[in-house]
Structure 1
């Protein structure tokens, strides 16, 4: 069975995210500047790539949860913040059973949402059950999808890891994974990213509306980034839980520690990405070797 809904009001498609990690002993490459400048640049670029990935992929969680209250909670992510643009196609994969179900968001040749970001292509998610039910899984892939000029690739997977034991209010927890994620820019620069995070709901459990939902995010990731002549790999860990409110498209609080490949235990070239003290904005800071830089998130 297949139904098609045209031009639903949808919103900010990604936010998200990047907590990246290192697994090899690859060496950073750069052709310009002193050794200290190269170290600073590699740390800065790694941190910015980590933050950009966190924003882009973390927003997928909102979007997948927000399609409707049949598969999630409805009204979150792009379904609460963007003007009409994508076509939504719902395919029952084992009719008449409601699940599994495949939902496709098709942005076509593109549109600009209220947040000012351009999106085109498709986001395709298969749900095994309603995501608020323990054990349910949603697996998302991207088909020719672009966020602004950035090509988005990879697999995003959400698993409800909440305890099936009834609680009042019920506890709610999810495992969010990005597998072989990649963000590619028109000039050939890219970020590759794999992450595993635990997302726990802290507030809003006693109400039906998602607007008062607040989550904390913990976990780690690994990645590789290319910026011009620079190629570096790194790992990152959340050292202060990230705080995500459903009524804000950015992470509002929390810190990530980013370490590059080959860094010694006492290396000064360790970066801390700080998302702020609770304000809903796109500003964050990166501190490297005692020097703090302000950055703007997508």
Structure 2
């Protein structure tokens, strides 16, 4: 009887091993919470919007190259821009509500404190916010831009860009935190700017999930897309890490659209962002 018991035990164990080897472990992996990526995309949308009109304001006030297409009145009808040259400060006041031709609504005050002409290496711009909102998303924190080098041959400026103590609050009262450390290579031309972005970011989503992200393939943003209302990069790959999962966001190879492909353990899907 003892030998018979051992035989059945071995046969059962062998069957279990064979069954385990034949199964696909990815079939049992739960889909990660993709709202983390949605939060990050919306947060970066607000900062791309900020960059777009910040460059315009600096250019119109003689602090940058005069090659951009936009004019101040295109930022938002009724916006109040105060220039304090003595203290090197520009205050952009959108008031209670200011809606531009693309339907973007902004509120509150953005303050730019600059060290000098932005085309000079070492020049800095520190951005702070007071009651500032973009389409209902309230932005807090500080954002600094440092000109880390100029390539005159290629008409390019390299910028070190950081966001510290970022808090973004949605209309429903939920909020996310965000910090980033990026290098932005800005190429200037007759059609506007083209930006290649590399670097890292971290934060906590609205659902309380902590995450980090890394640019795996440089993200590409250009002025014509931004001004047409397409705020996400037109190319590049951004990789997110959270809750023991890795999710890559592929923005494509250059098309000016709102789609990206998310790939994660166990699957992938194409999504379209607002």
TM-score normalised by the chain length of structure 1: 0.73
User: 1:46 is matched with which residue?
Assistant: 36
- Superposed counterparts of 1:118-267, under 5 Å: 118-162=105-149, 167-201=152-186, 203-204=187-188, 207=189, 209=190, 211-226=191-206, 230-249=207-226, 250=231, 251-261=233-243, 263=244
Task: Confirm or deny: 8 A CA contact 1:236 1:258 kept in the other structure.
Answer: yes
Task: Confirm or deny: 8 A CA contact 1:259 1:271 kept in the other structure.
Answer: yes
CA distance in structure 2 between the aligned counterparts of 1:87 and 1:61, rounded to whole angstroms: 18
1:288 deviates by: 2.5
Distance 1:178 1:76, change over 3 A: farther
Number of aligned residue pairs: give it: 238
1:179 deviates by: 0.8
User: 1:14 is matched with which residue?
Assistant: none
Structure number with greater CO (CA < 8 Å, separation at least 6) is: 1
Q: Which runs of 5+ in 2 are unaligned?
A: 1-27
CA distance in structure 2 between the aligned counterparts of 1:199 and 1:282, rounded to whole angstroms: 21
RMSD: 2.3
User: 2:255 is matched with which residue?
Assistant: 279
1:282 deviates by: 3.0
Larger deviation, residues 49-58 vs 114-123:
49-58
Q: Which runs of 5+ in 1 are unaligned?
A: 1-34, 95-100, 264-268
Alignment partner of 1:56: what SS?
Answer: helix
CA distance in structure 2 between the aligned counterparts of 1:236 and 1:141, rounded to whole angstroms: 24
When Rg is computed on C-alpha atoms for both structures, the one with the higher figure is 2
Task: Confirm or deny: 8 A CA contact 2:77 2:99 kept in the other structure.
Answer: no
Task: Confirm or deny: 8 A CA contact 2:53 2:75 kept in the other structure.
Answer: no
CA distance in structure 2 between the aligned counterparts of 1:296 and 1:78, rounded to whole angstroms: 28
